[in-house]
Each structure stands twice: as structure tokens, then as C-alpha cells.
Amino acid sequence: MRTSRRLPIHSHNRTAYAFLLPWLIGFFCLTLGPMLGSLYLSLTKYNLLRPPEWIGFANFKQIFTNDATFTHSLQLTFVYVLLSVPLRIIFALLVALALNKGIRGLGIYRTVYYVPSLLGGSVAISIVWRQIFDSEGVMNAFLGWFGLEGPAWIANPDYLIYPIVTLSVWQFGSAMVIFLAGLKQVPADLYEASQVDGAGKIRQFFSISLPMLTPVLFFNLIMSIINSFQAFTPAYVIGDGHGGPLDASMFYTLYLYLKGFSYFDMGYASALAWIMLLIIAVFTGIIFATSRFWVFYGDGKGGR
């Protein structure tokens, strides 16, 4: 080959592409195609069984002007995200701090706390949750010891959100493992220096641990927000599967699913999906945009 002098670079590229290929195939076949398909469908009336009919932006118009369930499900999903994300992150951070004290058997604890993250999204755990929070379940029996009468957590629309949020918080494991790794990276000499200057534990946490953890916090925050917006299984299984009782489990994703697969309105469901995508993009964008003000990379340059 004449260009053999430049080969090293190309062979690097080639290797990189080879490694990227599985992902690229997945992206083009399994993600981009269906996404473009759903973008088209969102502009049609498509009942799954007849060919789609072009209706322009009518679905979007309907969603924004004349759909109380959309508004409700969006509100519910926001409440869920605003409750579950901070709680999960705080919980994960507290447990990580506790485990970072150099206790014995750290590996076991780390594994035990991580397991819920693997199981939490499953149907089986959601069913267990349903049993725990049933009006005659473990939770109310526990409250009974203190002389409290717990409500019908699952059956009463006013309370249903709490079992679902606790299920989400219980899956703090993956965030915790990442926090723990972050804490291990904080140089010990910072703590020693601050101790010499007379800083207490709390001062150390806010002035050293937390700033040093912000990149990790940034990552966890984004992942948690995306996950929470997309929560489906807990709502589907802990609720009655149709968003009930009284739409208390009508999360955005569940509404989208029902519209598409139960109510024969896939065009409408596709439009809902694109709105969700934009909402998640906006939230992620906001966090990215503000990150330069609060994420500290320790290289003196601030963000990025």
C-alpha cells in the first residue's frame, strides 16, 4: 500500500470502528429506525390494524388542548421524579458515607445493597411491594405495633404514590456504589489538612467530600432523572394495570402504553413518546447547562 506511512492512524480508526460496530448496528437497526418510524406515526392516526392516515399535528393539538389525562399523568410523573430522585440520591449518599468508614465486610454490604438495583425494576419485586403495602400487609402490621392505623396504601388513590416512590428509593444501590467509588478517590491529605485546621466532620463533608463528589453526583442525577421519567413496571404492577385506582398510577409511560396497545391509538401514543423525549432532553440539558456552576472537577478549570 502506498499510504503505509499513515497506516497506524487508519488501523486505529479501523479497530475503533470494529469495536463500535455492534453498537452502531444496534443504534441504526433497533433505535434510529423505530424512532424515525414513531416520528412519522406521531403525525398520523394509526389504530394498529389499518394503515396509518396522515393528520399532521392533530395529535399534538389534541394532547395540549384537550386531554386531561395527559396533564394528569405528566403531573403525576413530575411528582414521582421530584420525590424519588432526591430521596434516592440522598439515601445512596448517606449509605455510601456510612460504608466508607472502613467497616469490615464492606464487600458483602456493597453487594447486599446493590442487589435491589438489579431486581427493583422487575415484576416480581413489584408484586412483593403490592403485598407489603396491602391494607392487611406487613407495612400496616408494622404501623399497628405503634398503635397507628395505616391507610390502604395500594387501594386508596391518595396514597398509592408513596409505595411506588419507596420502591424507587429502595433501588439506591447503583448510585451508592458509584458514590462509594467517588469517596474512595478523595485524597486523604485533604481531610488531614482540614483536621489540622480544626474542621469538624460536618464541615469536612460540606467542604471536601461533597465538592469532590460533584462529578459523581452529576452523573447519578442525570441517570436517576432519566430512569424515573421512564418508570413503568412499578406503576403497571402496583397499580391495577390500567392506571387505576382513579388514575393514581397513571404514569406518563403507562398512559402512553395504554393509548398505544389497549386503546388502538398508536399515532397518539407516538406523539406522547416524542413529548416525553423532549421533556427528558430539556431536563438533562438544564442539568448540563448549570453543571459548570456546581460541578467541580478538581483540575482548577471548573466544568468541562
Partner 1 sequence: MKKRWFISVLAAMTVMLSACGSSGGPAASSGSGGEANSGSDQVELRMMWWGDQARADLTNKALELFEQKHPDIKVVGEFSPQDGYFDKLNTQLASGTAPDVFFLGGNVVDYANKGVLLDLQPYKGNELKLDDMDTTMVQYGTINGKLVHISAGANARGIVINKTLFEKAGIEVPQDGWNWEDYARISKEISDKLGKGYYGTYNFTTDGMDIYLKQNGKQLYDMANNKLGFEEADILPWFQYWDQTSKAGGVVTPELQVSNPPNDASKSLIIKGKVAMTLLPSNMLASYQSLTQDELTMVQVPRGPKGTGVVFESSQGMSGYAKTQHPKEVAELMDFWINDPEAVKILGSNRGVPVTAEGRKTLEAEASAADKIVYDFTSRVSEANKKEPFAISYNPPGNAEFIKLADNTVQLIGFGKENVEKAVSDFFAGTVKIFQSNQ
Interface with partner 1 includes 247 (CB under 8 A)?
Answer: yes
Cα dihedral sign, 231-235-236-237: positive
Q: Which of residues 248-287 bind partner 1 (CB under 8 A)?
A: 258, 261-266
Q: Of 173 and 260, which CB lies nearer to partner 1 in the complex structure? A: 260
Q: Which region among 9-17, 84-92, 161-169, 218-226 touches partner 1 (by CB under 8 A)?
A: 9-17
Binding of partner 1 by 37 (CB under 8 A)? no
Residues that contact partner 1, how many (by CB under 8 A): 41
DSSP lists the bridge partners of residue 53 as 45
Q: Please state the closest distance from residue 134 (CB atom) to partner 1, in A.
A: 6
SS3 call for 134: coil
**Given 16, 24, 82, 115, the residue binding partner 1 (CB under 8 A):** 24
- Give the DSSP per-residue string, 22-87: HHHHIIIIIIIHHHHHHHHHTTEE--SSS--EE-TTHHHHHHHHS-HHHHHHHHHHHHHHHHHHHH
What's the min distance (Å) between Cβ of 252 and partner 1? Answer: 16
Q: Restricting to residues 102-161, name those near partner 1 by CB under 8 A.
A: 134-135, 152, 154-158
Which residues, numbered 183-222, are part of the site for partner 1 (CB under 8 A)?
Answer: none
Stretch that binds partner 1, among 80-88, 119-127, 176-184, 237-245 (CB under 8 A): 237-245
Among 3, 101, 145, 149, binds partner 1 (CB under 8 A): 3
Number of Cβ within 10 Å of residue 231's Cβ equals 22
Instruction: Rule CB under 8 A: choose which of 173, 182, 234, 243 binds partner 1.
Output: 243
Residue 158 and residue 172: Cα distance in Å, rounded?
A: 25
Bridge partners (DSSP) listed for residue 45 = 53
- Exposure string (b/e) for 122-152, b if CB count within 10 Å is 16 or more? eeebbebbbebbbeebebbeeeeeeeeebeb
- Shortest distance, position 146 Cβ to partner 1, whole Å: 22
User: Residue 297 and residue 304: Cα distance in Å, rounded?
Assistant: 8
CB of 241 to partner 1, least distance (A): 6
**Mask of contacts with partner 1, 42-81, x by CB under 8 A?**
-----xxxx-------------------------------
36 is an interface residue for partner 1 by CB under 8 A: no
- Residues linked to residue 54 through DSSP beta bridges, in sequence order: 44
